[in-house]
Structure 1
Amino acid sequence: MAKTTVGANADGVGDDAVQAATGRPRDEWFELLDAADAATWTHKDVATWLVAEHRVDAWWAQSVTVAYEQARGIRRPGQRQDGTYEASVTRTVDLDKTEGLRALAALVERELGVAPLALNLGAKHPTARFPLDGGEFVLASSTERSGGRSSIGLTWGRMPDGDRLADVKARMRGWLAEVG
C-alpha cells in the first residue's frame, strides 16, 4: 500500500472552529500553555487546567491538549496518551446502523481471519471488537444518521509504534469502501 502522511490533530480541526468553540485560536492557547510550563504536565493536567481555569468544554480541551502536545513534540500524530498508536477512519453509508455494522463486521472478520471478541448490535452505537496479536485490536462501529443512513468506522488500536499508521489507514479505508 502506498504510504501517505498521517495528519496531526490541527489538520482535522480548523483554527476558526477552535476559536469559535473556545474563545481563542490555537496559537493563543499554546502561548498560555507555554507560559504555564504545561509542556512538563501530564495530558490529564493540561486538559483539566483548560476546563477548570478557562472553562473550555471538555471535548475541546482534549482537542487543544492533543494539538499542543503534537506542536511541542510531546506526542506524535496517531499516538495515544499511553504511548501506543491508533488509526481511525469513517464513512457514511446508505444502511441503517445495525445493517452497517453487520456488513462491516463480516468484512473485517473475512479480512483479518478472526471472529469478533464482542459484537454489540443492541447498543445506541453498535460495535464489534476484533482481538489481534500483541494486544492490538480493531474496533468496528456504527452510528445512526438521518435518512436511514449510518456512519461506519474502524479503529486499529494499541500499535506499539507509528510505523504502520499510514498503511493501516489505507487498508481500513479500502474495507470501508466495500461496505454499502
Structure 2
Amino acid sequence: MVDRIDRNMGAEAMRAATGRSHVEWRDLLQAAGALEWSHRQIADWLVAEHAVDPWWSQGITVDFEQDRKGRLPGQQADGTFSVSQTRTVPGERLAALAAVRAEIESRYGASHGENLAAAQPVVRWRLGDGTRLAAAAQQPNRSGTPVNLTIERLSDAAAMEAAKDEIAAIFAAVAR
C-alpha cells in the first residue's frame, strides 16, 4: 500500500523548507477555510500568501487533504489513483529511456506521445483499461539514469497493488 505523505515527507525537512510542521500547516489551512477549496486553490494560496516553494506547496496540500479531507494515499485530486516507482537504468538518459520504452512497447504497443527534448524526457501510453502509463528519464548519475514509471487514472485503491506489480515487472525485464 502507498504511505500517507507525512510518512514520506519528514518533519524536520518540512520545517526546514517551509518554517512550519505538518500540523501547523494543517491548522493554518483549516483556519483559512481550505476545507472548501480545490487542490489547486490550496497550493496556489500557499505560494501566493506564504511564499512556499511550489514543490513544497503540493506536498503540504496533499498532506492537508489526506489528514483533513479524507483523501487516501495514492489518490489524486480528481479521485483516481496512481502509483509510481523509480529505478536506475544503465546508460545515458535517452538510451535508458529507450530500453524501458522497448519493454513497455512489447507489452502495450506504440506510445501515444513523447517529449524527448524536455528537461525530463517522457514517453506516454494509453492503456486499454483507461489508465495511462508514463516513463520519464531523470538526470543521470554515476550508475546510470533514474527512470520513473507512473501508472495513473486507476479506478480505485485496490488497483494500485497490481499496477505496482506491473511496474516492478517492467523494471525486472529491463534489468535482465
Confirm or deny a common fold (TM above 0.5): yes
- Is 1:8 aligned with 2:4? yes
Q: SS where residue 142 of structure 2 aligns?
A: helix
Q: Is the 8 A contact 1:156 1:168 kept in 2?
A: yes
Q: Is the 8 A contact 1:39 1:74 kept in 2?
A: no
> What one-letter code is carried by the residue in structure 1 that aligns with 2:155?
P
- Is 1:164 aligned with 2:159? yes
Matches within 5 A, 1:5-44: 5-44=1-40
- Is 1:150 aligned with 2:145? yes
CA deviation map 1:87-111 (0-9, x unaligned): 1110122211111111101111223
Unaligned 5+ segments in structure 1 are none
Greater shift, 138-147 or 97-106, is seen at: 138-147
CA deviation map 1:142-175 (0-9, x unaligned): 1232337211111111122222112211220232
Q: Is the 8 A contact 1:91 1:152 kept in 2?
A: yes
Q: 2:104 aligns with which of 104, 108, 111?
A: 108
CA deviation map 1:48-105 (0-9, x unaligned): 2211221111111111000110112432111111222111110122211111111101
Where does structure 1 differ by over 4 angstroms across 4 or more consecutive aligned residues? none
Matches within 5 A, 1:62-141: 62-112=58-108, 114-141=109-136
- Point out which structure has higher relative CO (alpha carbons under 8 A, 6+ apart): 1
Q: Is the 8 A contact 1:131 1:138 kept in 2?
A: yes
> What one-letter code is carried by the residue in structure 1 that aligns with 2:127?
L
Unaligned 5+ segments in structure 2 are none
Give me the whole-angstrom Cα distance separating, in 1, the residues matched to 2:102 and 2:70.
Answer: 38
Change beyond 3 A, Cα 1:103–1:33? same
Change beyond 3 A, Cα 1:118–1:45? closer
RMSD, aligned α-carbons: 1.8
Give me the whole-angstrom Cα distance separating, in 1, the residues matched to 2:169 and 2:7.
Answer: 22
Per the normalisation by structure 1, the TM-score is: 0.88
Q: Is the 8 A contact 2:35 2:69 kept in 1?
A: no
Aligned length: 175
> What one-letter code is carried by the residue in structure 1 that aligns with 2:142?
G
